[in-house]
Copies of this chain bind each other. A is one copy, B any other.
């Protein structure tokens, strides 16, 4: 069941041991309460911070499975679009084709995805979830749901919906 695991360490930042505010240096200039000033009004800054936190939580919850955000997205897209090609997947994920190769290599090693030859075009593969991939995805989905709830703890249902809508507008291509 857990063919996963590999060498998936990674835990991103969170270097502060315990909220130590560097009081010792406060005699100097402006150390005591560092102001983020104009930055807090910038979408990009707010996005980065939010994404950092969300991804951290995702890693913490799912790296034991060998699953990263990109790998989960890949699984979900293949599940929703069985037989999809690598190029098509690259476009959907908005990454280069070469990146998909590595992604699928890994997922194949984890026995979650298979490349199946397709007679209609001998250059390309049809990507499918393996049987194990399907059951793993179910399990992973439950984890993701819990992660999602944790990350959205400060939002009610309506707010979350709104946030997704606004993010979609900002993220809309072109």
Of the residues B31, B80, B91, contact of A84 by C-beta under 8 Å = B31
The answer, yes or no, to whether A43 is at the interface (CB within 8 Å) is yes
State whether the Cβ of A109 lies closer than 8 Å to any Cβ in chain B: no
Chain B residues near A162 (CB, 8 Å)?
A: 162, 166
Query: Residue A51 at the B interface, CB < 8 A?
Result: yes
| Complex Cα gap A173–B167 (Å) | 20
Instruction: List B contacts of A81 (CB < 8 A).
Output: 29-31, 34-35
Chain B residues within an 8 Å CB radius of A85: 22, 25, 28, 31
Q: Mark A16-36, 1 if CB is under 8 A from B, else 0.
A: 100000100101111100111
Chain B residues with CB under 8 Å of A31's CB are 81, 83-85, 88
Inter-chain CA distance A163–B168, complex, in Å, is 12
- Report if A76-B39 is in contact (Cβ < 8 Å); known contacts: A25-B85, A81-B30, A81-B34: yes
In the complex, the answer to whether B118 meets A167 with C-beta atoms within 8 Å is no
Task: Apart from A27-B120, A36-B76, A54-B170, list 14 A-B contacts with CB within 8 A.
Answer: A22-B85, A22-B91, A30-B81, A31-B85, A34-B88, A34-B91, A38-B141, A43-B151, A43-B163, A44-B151, A46-B168, A47-B51, A163-B166, A166-B166
User: Which residues of A are interface residues toward B (Cβ below 8 A)?
Assistant: 13, 15-16, 22, 25, 27-31, 34-55, 58, 69, 73, 76-77, 79-85, 87-92, 94-97, 118, 120-121, 124, 126, 141, 144, 148, 151-152, 154-155, 159-160, 162-164, 166-173
